[in-house]
Structure 1
Amino acid sequence: MDARIEQVVTTGKLTLDDTEHDVENNTYIVGDDDEVIVIDPAYDAEAILKEVGDREVMAVILTDGNEHHLGVVLEVAAAGEDDEEDWAPIALHRADRLLWRDYFGRLAKQEEDEDDAKALRALEPDIWLEDGGVFEIGGAALEVVHTPGHTPGSISVISEQLGVLLSGDTLHRGRPGSIGGQYEDLRKQLNSIGALLTPLPKDLKVLPGQGEETTVGEEDARWETWGALAREDDA
């Protein structure tokens, strides 16, 4: 197996419920010397594509449909190719389709050219992710796990060969993943985290969508204490 994981950290702003938040995002590039899959590009396509280099982008996987993951997704999928037929497929869970359509619908309203606006409104992901779906790259398998709560279509990615769980914004080090401390559906998110972590090896590395890496064992030990967050969220 030749696959490895590289990380690019980018920063920017994300507006949720009319409140602007500063966000630091982890983009992961999984692959070998020839081909890669990019997971969760955000904010700085140039920095991400610099890390990709001359390698071919085989797919772009979004672990959720929030706008910081959508803002540069087309640029990363294109990877310098002018012909759209040569762009890498973009993958998103269908339950986040509304987030996708809202984002590109807003862009369409800003377009003066009606043909460009129509194209943005018609734009859809190339692949609808499903629980149990598998991508293969560099001899490693990447298994999709649907982990709703942060958004309806949030997913995580497990690779036994690489010994990692890529948890997106479902799970961060020491806490459930959030944007600015806000939760969409924390109880559902906690249930997803519990179901995700329980069967996995405790020493499995967790690479989150924001912040530092952790392990399944560390987060599994904290999981029950997060119930208090859900009670606070309900208040």
Structure 2
Amino acid sequence: MTARIERVVTEGVVDIDGVEHKVENNTWIVGDDDEVIVIDPARDAEKIMEQVGDREILAVICTAGLPDHVGAAIEVASRDEAIVALHPKDKPLWRETWSETWPDIDMEDDGVFGVADIQLDVMETPGVTPGSVSLYSEALEAVFTGKTLQADGPGKLGGEYPGLADQLTAIGGRLFTLPGATRVLAVHGDEVTIGDLEPHFDDWVSGSLTREAKPEGPLTDATGLSGIKIEPGDD
């Protein structure tokens, strides 16, 4: 059977530094009529499982350890005893939601997950969290970017850009090396393509994201962002 991508949208509230934010999350289901992998099961396991149906869940992959990426991970994985995967650098964040259990697999850069007739390649894309990852499927021409890259640019938490220099390094050096037609499927918002977003990269590096609301810390200077590492593939 040919693999496909399905989206489930859930709603909830996330507490960031004592402030509650109402958010919508995309949970992505990748697979065929027999088996699937679930990416970022934010909340509302029942709604996610309704979409999965009687297909076997092989794995639950969390692109970050934040509550709105892992909130339904254990419940979704439990029915089929699926593995739960997370980058080890995000384990402290995981424990804020799941204090008595751990993920089953530590993801690493260039790791591979297989489902149906395709594979998902792990790309380390830190920034929003130390262990943020993206998952690229060449066969499906899609990359699941979590919070690292969204339709409106790099990811935010509570209106700020955490680890923005690292985010832009990952975006420029990893994600923007993918083909322009690659679908960007993030944890929030609508889908776009790499080609839609890449023309904005130079503006992001020059400080357009932080010009009006400069975040705390050493990320910005008078000319824009400091600390950006220019990797092969950057313009």
Quote how far apart the aligned CAs of 1:224 are.
1.6
SS at structure 2 position matched to 1:198: helix
RMSD: 1.4
Is 1:161 the counterpart of 2:161 in the alignment? no
Where does residue 26 of structure 2 map in the other structure?
26
SS at structure 1 position matched to 2:158: coil
Is 1:75 the counterpart of 2:75 in the alignment? yes
SS at structure 1 position matched to 2:91: helix
Where does residue 65 of structure 1 map in the other structure?
65
CA distance in 2 between counterparts of 1:206 and 1:68 reads 19
CA distance in 1 between counterparts of 2:6 and 2:176 reads 27
Contact 1:197–1:220, Cα closer than 8 Å, also in 2: no
Structure 2 residues not aligned, in runs of 5+? 221-235
Structure 1 residues not aligned, in runs of 5+? 80-85, 106-119
Q: Which amino acid aligns with 2:93?
A: L
Which of 184, 187, 194 is the matching residue for 2:172? Answer: 194
Q: Which amino acid aligns with 1:43?
A: R
TM-score calculated relative to the size of structure 2: 0.86
Is 1:96 the counterpart of 2:93 in the alignment? no
CA distance in 2 between counterparts of 1:16 and 1:43 reads 17
Q: After superposition, give the CA deviation of every residue in 1:139-184 in whole Å (9 maximum; x if it has no partner).
A: 1010000000010000001000011011111111021112332222
CA distance in 2 between counterparts of 1:134 and 1:67 reads 24
Q: Which amino acid aligns with 1:101?
A: R
Contact 2:120–2:136, Cα closer than 8 Å, also in 1: yes
CA distance in 2 between counterparts of 1:52 and 1:74 reads 15
Which of 197, 201, 209 is the matching residue for 1:223? Answer: 201
Is 1:53 the counterpart of 2:31 in the alignment? no
Contact 2:128–2:157, Cα closer than 8 Å, also in 1: no
* Deviating 4+ runs (over 4 angstroms): none
CA distance in 1 between counterparts of 2:48 and 2:203 reads 36
TM-score calculated relative to the size of structure 1: 0.86
SS at structure 2 position matched to 1:143: strand
Give the share of equivalent positions with the same residue, in percent. 49
SS at structure 2 position matched to 1:10: strand
Contact 1:186–1:230, Cα closer than 8 Å, also in 2: no
1:81-160 map, 5 Å: 86-105=80-99, 120=100, 123-160=101-138
Identify the range of structure 1 (167-176 vs 181-190) with the bigger mean alpha-carbon deviation: 181-190
Where does residue 43 of structure 2 map in the other structure?
43
CA distance in 1 between counterparts of 2:176 and 2:93 reads 29
